[in-house]
Amino acid sequence: MKKHYPAIAALLILFLFPSPMQAQKTLPADMEIELHYGADRLGKRPDQAMQKFRENRLGAFIHWGLYAIPGGEWEGKVYNGAAEWLKSWAKVPADEWLQLMQQWNPEKFNAKRWAQMAKEMGVKYVKITTKHHEGFCLWPSQFTKYTVANTPYKKDILGELVKAYNDAGIDVHFYFSVMDWSHPDWRYDLKNEEDEKAFQRFLTFTDNQLKELATRYPTVKDFWFDGTWDASIKKNGWWTAHAERMLKDLIPGVTVNSRLRADDYGKRHFDSNGHLMGDYESAYERRLPDPVKDLQVTKWDWEACMTIPENQWGYHKDWSLSYIKNPVEVLERIVHAVSMGGNMVVNFGPRPDGDFRAEEKELAKVIGKWTARNGECIYACGYAGWEKQDWGYYTAKGHHVYMVVFNRPYSGQLTAKTPKGTQIIKASLLNGENIKVTETARNEYNVSMPKHEFNEPFVIKLEIKSSESTTNKYREALT
Ligand code: FHN
């Protein structure tokens, strides 16, 4: 990772990889440049905590802050941009925005009910916005006055949530925005000495808040950083490496997303040698990796996150302005992510009164009914390495491959093509009902449709074995 090589030549090569996607290509080992703040490791993290992160596969995101109160509307005007950015769309000065704290009193908030909802949905972890860009903290931070402690509600919402989710057996991850619109020392760029000084003070403040979170809530399993794309952070790559190390020293096993990191040259997510920084890639927001171009995703862990409307994370009062995904569309993205070896996090934006909107509750319920019956094809599953077919997605676990069928073929037959040397020896539904499977050619099978109708995506479980050579059975085509 830290080999010497004439930096100019190597950087020149980096310029040949202009797009972020292409920049994931690694340099030949002997051409790597020396980095002090690049990747800490090559390849996937092998420890148990990371394994748990990976096996969880399905998470929920919670975006909850002051922005829930106006819900996308400011001074009579409804903005259709992301509701948690309303301060910016409506150009509201920070002190005026933070006055919303006086209205923060979520009377219907019940952490146990939130945990129950997550449990019923089948999520294994919840990512909570401890502090979004606006700077308002869901915990009583000692380092700012913009916290729940100074609202009519007063109580530590984050603490209540951590306890309730943990009691329900659900891991808690902390979302943390480094960019903080409430702080006078926050800078987008560093143009002079004064900016530099202010920003160093800001980084100390951020360190203090992170240490505070890690020590107050030691069961937290992950820190998910956001708001790290500005020049000020990119010029302080050292700090991003330091923050990750500091958290890992405080909480052994904690995981950290790639979005935090910038290397010596301000290169983000992947360092200047093309190696992933942090523990998993977190750039897939409202999109999934391309299965062809980004097939390298199997080389590192990754997590995608999605909204239910097109782009609303915080509560927006008018969802009719946006296309709302239905539960099958959400399920398809979840399964698609798992089929490519990643995690999926589905976002919820609770209302200002502490309840969830009816549409979100319904969606969580429908997904939960499906995961209760079919979760076996999601949890602890990953990439099967089989050729994708039009009926849906494969996921894999041990000696089993799951066919998750989203598109029913009119022929009544599902085609499965196995990699060389792999045979299907049995097919069944998850309730154990047998499914007819016929070998039609070398490494090709017809898997019959289940006898009864499904009105939702269904799963066929294949038992597989790596076979001896089949050359005697099949005659090679003489072409
Ligand atoms: O600006 C934020 C946005 O509000 C939201 O929090 C998402 C979640 O991934 N992250 C940022 C944009 O990348």
Say yes or no to pLDDT of 337 above 60. yes
Q: Where are the extended beta strands (E) located within 188-264?
A: 222-226, 255-256
Q: Are β-strands 73-74 and 222-226 bridged in parallel, bridged antiparallel, or unpaired? A: unpaired
pLDDT at 7: 45
- Look at residues 161, 76, 52, 20 and name the one whose alpha carbon lies nearest to residue 380: 52
CA distance 443 to 229: 47
Average pLDDT over residues 296-321: 94
62 lines ligand 1 (CB under 6 A): no
Using CA atoms, how far residue 44 sits from 299, 341, 442, in Å, is 7, 12, 34
313 lines ligand 1 (CB under 6 A): yes
- Look at residues 51, 69, 124 and name the one whose alpha carbon lies nearest to residue 314: 69
**Model confidence band, residue 356 (pLDDT cutoffs 50, 70, 90):** very high
Say yes or no to pLDDT of 63 above 60. yes
Range scoring the smallest mean pLDDT among 5-14, 27-36, 388-397: 5-14
Asked if residues 463 and 400 have their Cβ atoms less than 8 Å apart, the reply is yes
**Model confidence band, residue 295 (pLDDT cutoffs 50, 70, 90):** low
CA distance 67 to 132: 10
Average pLDDT over residues 286-311: 86
**Model confidence band, residue 332 (pLDDT cutoffs 50, 70, 90):** very high
Token match 């909850």: residue? 64
Average pLDDT over residues 115-131: 98
Helix or strand holding residue 346 (H, E):
strand 343-348
Give 23's contacts (C-beta < 8 A, 6+ positions apart).
14, 17, 267, 270, 274
**Model confidence band, residue 30 (pLDDT cutoffs 50, 70, 90):** confident
269 vs 7: which has the higher pLDDT: 269
The answer to whether the pTM exceeds 0.85 is: yes
Q: Locate the ligand 1 atom nearest the alpha carbon of residue 285 and give its number.
A: 9
pLDDT at 2: 42
470 vs 364: which has the higher pLDDT: 364
Average pLDDT over residues 83-105: 98
CA distance 8 to 15: 11
Q: What residue type is 289 in one-letter code?
A: P
Average pLDDT over residues 103-124: 98
Written as one string, the DSSP assignment of 27-64 is PPGGGPPP-SSS-SSSS---SHHHHHHHHH-EEEEE--
170-209 pLDDT, tens digit per residue, is: 999 999 999 999 999 999 999 999 999 999 999 999 999 9
User: Helices 157-167 and 111-121 meet at what angle, rounded to 10?
Assistant: 40
CA distance 74 to 282: 31
Say yes or no to pLDDT of 21 above 80. no
pLDDT at 19: 37
Tally the C-alpha atoms within 13 A of residue 337's C-alpha that lie toward its C-beta: 32
**Model confidence band, residue 16 (pLDDT cutoffs 50, 70, 90):** very low
- Look at residues 89, 252, 139, 248 and name the one whose alpha carbon lies nearest to residue 260: 248
Say yes or no to pLDDT of 298 above 90. no
Q: Locate the ligand 1 atom nearest the alpha carbon of residue 63 and give its number.
A: 6
158-171 pLDDT, tens digit per residue, is: 999 999 999 999 99
423-472 pLDDT, tens digit per residue, is: 999 999 999 999 999 999 999 999 999 998 899 999 999 999 987 555 45
134 lines ligand 1 (CB under 6 A): no
346 lines ligand 1 (CB under 6 A): no
Asked if residues 271 and 39 have their Cβ atoms less than 8 Å apart, the reply is yes
Among 129, 179, 181, 313, the mutation site with the greatest number of ligand 1 atoms within 8 A of its Cβ is 313
Give me the percent of the chain exceeding a pLDDT of 70: 91
pLDDT at 1: 43
End-to-end C-alpha distance for the chain, whole angstroms? 47
Q: Which residue's CA is the closest to the ligand 1 atom numbered 6?
A: 313
Give me the percent of the chain exceeding a pLDDT of 90: 87
Average pLDDT over residues 261-285: 96
Give 113's contacts (C-beta < 8 A, 6+ positions apart).
none
CA distance 442 to 130: 54
160 lines ligand 1 (CB under 6 A): no
Q: CA dihedral in degrees (262, 14, 26, 30; nearest 10)?
A: -110
pLDDT at 293: 67
285 lines ligand 1 (CB under 6 A): yes
Q: Which residue's CA is the closest to the ligand 1 atom numbered 9?
A: 285
CA distance 347 to 339: 20
pLDDT at 468: 55
**What's the whole-number average pLDDT of the chain?**
93
- Rounded to the nearest whole angstrom, what is the distance from the C-alpha of residue 19 to the centroid of ligand 1? 21
Which token pair is 106? 């979520």
- Rounded to the nearest whole angstrom, what is the distance from the C-alpha of residue 286 to the centroid of ligand 1? 10
84 lines ligand 1 (CB under 6 A): yes
pLDDT at 452: 86
pLDDT at 88: 98
Average pLDDT over residues 410-431: 96
Q: Which residue's CA is the closest to the ligand 1 atom numbered 10?
A: 226
Edge to edge, what strands does the sheet with 444-448 contain? 413-417, 444-448, 437-441
Residue 137, phi then psi, degrees to nearest 5: -100, 135
All domains in the chain, ordered by first residue: 36-377 (3.20.20.80), 392-466 (2.60.40.1180)
What is the CA 168 to chain-centroid distance, rounded? Answer: 21
Say yes or no to pLDDT of 13 above 80. no
CA distance 295 to 337: 12
